[in-house]
């Protein structure tokens, strides 16, 4: 039996339980039309007028009302406690890429757990979308067409070495590490190129989502949604 609950040849929008605006969800679904809710994200989806194709998680957050409103075949409780609901979704949903909303901006431990999931999955393309920032794990080579002065933070989730062009403070020759040298609040001087070995997260302003998607070779957001 396949371990996948959902298989999609298009992008998948993963929705957590933190606050998400209707326009943000609509924009994500225009790019990644398959909606999967992580546990209490089912309540968020219904409140925004969307029926998830699947709900995955340990089901400690979904409300009785949401469970009653969603067809049983779309509910997929996974009892193990060794992973987060976000991780359960990523493990059981196969897609070319994922846009994740509602996993940051609430409890700090939930945000840290979501960032850890990004770092732990080098073979999955996941963009975490928050109210102020977007975050993703840098591929081995990354090009971002950023305007001069754009804030760009690099956060190592392990030991990282790399090279860069187009940054006010280059990373060449630096040994980055979570408990050592990090790269918050760097700044683009123009188009940026980064080569990195190791789990390196890139954080950009929310308005740079289209630049992030282009750098990851994903489709641009649809305007006017």
Q: 180 in a domain, yes or no?
A: yes
Q: Are residues 37 and 120 in the same domain?
A: yes
pLDDT in tens, the chain (225 residues): 358 999 999 999 999 998 999 999 999 999 999 999 999 999 999 999 999 999 999 999 999 999 999 999 999 999 888 889 999 999 999 999 999 999 987 678 888 999 999 999 999 999 999 989 999 999 999 999 999 999 999 999 999 999 999 999 999 989 999 989 999 999 999 999 999 999 999 999 999 999 999 999 887 665 544
> What CATH number does the domain containing 26 carry?
3.40.50.10240
Q: Are residues 84 and 185 in the same domain?
A: no
Q: Are residues 120 and 36 in the same domain?
A: yes
> What CATH number does the domain containing 208 carry?
2.60.120.320
Coil, helix or strand for 134? Answer: strand
What residues have CB less than 8 Å from 116, skipping those under 6 apart?
157
pTM: 0.93
Q: Are residues 105 and 197 in the same domain?
A: no
Q: Are residues 122 and 171 in the same domain?
A: no
Q: Are residues 119 and 31 in the same domain?
A: yes
Q: Are residues 165 and 145 in the same domain?
A: yes
CA pair distance 212, 206, nearest whole angstrom: 10
Domain limits for position 158: 141-215
Count: domains in the chain: 2
Q: 221 in a domain, yes or no?
A: no
């Amino acid at each position: 039996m396949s371990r996948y609950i959902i298989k999609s040849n298009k992008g998948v929008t993963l929705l957590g339980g933190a606050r998400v605006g209707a326009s943000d969800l609509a924009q994500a679904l225009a790019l990644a039309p398959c909606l999967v809710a992580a546990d209490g994200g089912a309540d968020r989806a219904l409140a925004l007028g969307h029926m998830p194709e699947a709900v995955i998680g340990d089901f400690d957050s979904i409300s009785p009302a949401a469970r009653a409103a969603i067809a049983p075949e779309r509910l997929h409780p996974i009892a193990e406690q060794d992973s987060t609901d976000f991780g359960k979704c990523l493990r059981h949903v196969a897609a070319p890429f994922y846009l994740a909303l509602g996993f940051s901006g609430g409890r700090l431990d939930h945000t840290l757990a979501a960032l850890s999931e990004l770092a732990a999955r080098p073979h999955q393309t996941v963009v975490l979308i928050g109210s102020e920032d977007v975050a993703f794990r840098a591929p081995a080579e990354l090009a971002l067409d950023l305007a001069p002065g754009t804030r760009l933070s690099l956060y190592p989730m392990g030991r990282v070495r790399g090279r860069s062009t187009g940054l006010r403070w280059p990373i060449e020759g630096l040994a980055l590490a979570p408990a050592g040298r990090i790269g918050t609040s760097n700044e683009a001087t123009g188009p940026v190129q980064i080569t990195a070995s190791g789990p390196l997260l890139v954080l950009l302003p929310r308005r740079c989502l289209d630049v992030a998607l282009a750098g990851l070779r994903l489709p641009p957001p649809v305007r006017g949604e």
